[in-house]
DNA sequence: TACTGTATTGCAACATTGTTGCAAAATATT
DNA sequence: AATATTTTGCAACAATGTTGCAATACAGTA
């Protein structure tokens, strides 16, 4: 587990620091998406707020995590299995937000269908967010 | 034009005030989605920031406008033609965000396909946001 | 139109979230 | 182990959003 965080950081030419290791571990352990606030909570007072912001920014730039559009305007980040490790972008799976518990899931096995856009519009990314009740709240 | 704003407000049992009329007009005139900041800009120093927040909240509650999930974590609101006037909820059309100019469009005529969720998950709403280049920037 | 109860607005103060510059500390390189 | 580079934490700031309350505007009725 720890090994894979170091591996991932190295793979993206990032220096190995405590905050990066811990934050990346949080993502690997969590099966759902994390908001900045979640990370602040889970890592205790260990890291400065600013460090968390910068770490998340770096991870997004490097393609380790990606942001998820949400209906309630909270930024959430997710690391999505193999895809992320290999640095691909993750515009092909559906996200699910539970209205009850707020948990956000990456439904890696549900793919986003092709959308026919009006003339003059070209797509580079498609995000699909389904809201409702998750498996825990149903 | 003015008439229809008053009509809409009455239809939703809202009292007719200057801020509500002006903000609703902004939405009717704008063919794209608006962020809080856009409204502040377009209405000058006419209204208090707090009034704008509260007006938007009220409009969302009444089903006059709806929020759009965005990839860049800015809250945007849109009034979507006939649908909104009749008070339906707008979970059935695609939104488009231009990466270049930032404009957000409601593609009312592009519908969101049905998504097959894993067992235990139930959907109440589906939001689909396509990013790319819009007709003006292409 | 004037009167009265109710809803809305603007102000002030505050809370939360995110950003920037810079010195101190940690990491990578030799 | 020594040095160059990167990252961190702090402080200060900026932007965004929220709440309570008195003043004002609106809606309904005479």
pLDDT at B90: 47
The pLDDT value given to residue B2: 47
Instruction: Give residue-wise pLDDT tens across range B27-74.
Output: 998 878 999 989 998 887 789 999 999 999 999 999 899 888 887 778
Please tell me which residue, A134 or A109, carries the higher pLDDT value. Answer: A134
Return d(Cα A7, Cα A34) in angstroms, integer.
21
Q: Identify the closest residue of chain A to B97 by CA–CA distance.
A: A123
B73 contacts B115 by C-beta, under 8 angstroms: no
Who has greater pLDDT, A121 or B83?
A121
Q: Verify whether the Cβ–Cβ distance A133 to B124 is below 8 Å.
A: yes
Pairing assessment for the beta strands B122-133 and A122-133 based on DSSP bridges? antiparallel
The residue that leads in pLDDT, B131 or A108, is B131
Is the minimum distance from the CB of A50 to strand D below 7 Å? yes
Element (H, E) at B26: helix B18-29
| Contact partners, residue B81, CB within 8 Å, separation at least 6 | B106, B108
**Sheet with strand B76-78: strands edge to edge:** B34-35, B76-78, B66-68
Instruction: Report residue B136: phi and psi, to 5°.
Output: -75, -35
Mean pLDDT, rounded, of chain B: 84
Residue contact B67–A73, C-beta within 8 A: yes
- Chain A hits for B118, Cβ within 8 Å: 107, 109-110, 135
Q: Residues 6 or more apart from B71 whose CB is under 8 A from it? A: A67, A69, A125, A127, B97, B129, B131
CA angle A9, A105, B35 (to 5 degrees): 95
Residue A61 Cβ < 7 Å to strand D: no
Tokens of B71: 């990839």
Half-sphere exposure of B118 (CA within 13 A, CB side): 14
User: Which range, of A14-28, A79-93, A120-134, B103-117, averages the lowest pLDDT?
Assistant: A79-93
């Amino acid at each position: 587990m720890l090994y894979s965080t170091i591996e991932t950081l190295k793979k993206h030419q990032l220096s190995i620091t405590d905050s990066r290791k811990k934050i990346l571990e949080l993502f690997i352990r969590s099966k759902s998406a994390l908001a900045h606030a979640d990370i602040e909570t889970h890592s205790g007072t260990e890291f400065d707020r600013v460090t968390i912001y910068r770490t998340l920014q770096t991870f997004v730039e490097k393609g380790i995590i990606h942001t998820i559009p949400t209906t309630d305007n909270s930024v959430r980040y997710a690391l999505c299995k193999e895809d992320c490790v290999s640095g691909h972008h993750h515009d092909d799976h559906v996200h699910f937000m539970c209205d009850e518990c707020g948990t956000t899931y990456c439904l890696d096995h549900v793919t986003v269908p092709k959308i026919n856009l009006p003339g003059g519009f070209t797509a580079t990314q498609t995000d699909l967010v389904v809201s409702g009740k998750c498996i825990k709240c149903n």
